[in-house]
Structure 1
């Protein structure tokens, strides 16, 4: 992944957008990663599944009850079957 600074955006917008057309580009501000610039096609491939449904991420605070319940049921099943992770 190529890296540019946010200051480069004013000077090299054509170069940066050309690079982003080929692969995602990392933009830094004060030497810290801040943004990723990518083509619409790359973005859509990240945000949509093959069926066209959007993928959704959750935090522990925002996870829907049905998803949390399913995960807890899987964890319980794993524990009952002796999957404690010890080798």
Structure 2
């Protein structure tokens, strides 16, 4: 995994975004890893059934993208009702 300084977010955000599409990347603060940035696909894969949220807490574009990700994975199902839930079957 790549490690970037938190100051790199301002200097070169596109490099961090490109790296995060390939694998999760660490952001360090005072030379200590503090945060992880990853693609939404990786987040959905890792969180699986534990993604639970009120639809009002997420922008429509995020909910739509999660549906697209789930549709590309036959073992995943998304429900939106009183809340958003991603299920791995």
Q: Which is higher, the Rg of structure 1 or of structure 2?
A: 1
After TM superposition, give the deviation of residue 53 of structure 1 in Å: 3.1
Higher relative contact order (CA 8 A, sep 6+): 2
Name the counterpart of 2:41. 41
Which structure has more strand as a fraction of its residues?
2
Name the counterpart of 2:12. 12
Name the counterpart of 1:26. 26
Name the counterpart of 2:87. 53
- Per-residue CA deviations over 1:24-62 (Å, capped at 9, x if unaligned) read 0000001111100000000000000545338xxxxxxxx
The root-mean-square deviation of aligned C-alpha atoms, in Å, is: 1.7
Distance 2:87 2:33 in 1: 29
Normalising to structure 2: TM-score of the pair? 0.55
After the TM superposition, which parts of structure 1 deviate over 6 Å for at least 4 consecutive aligned residues?
Answer: none
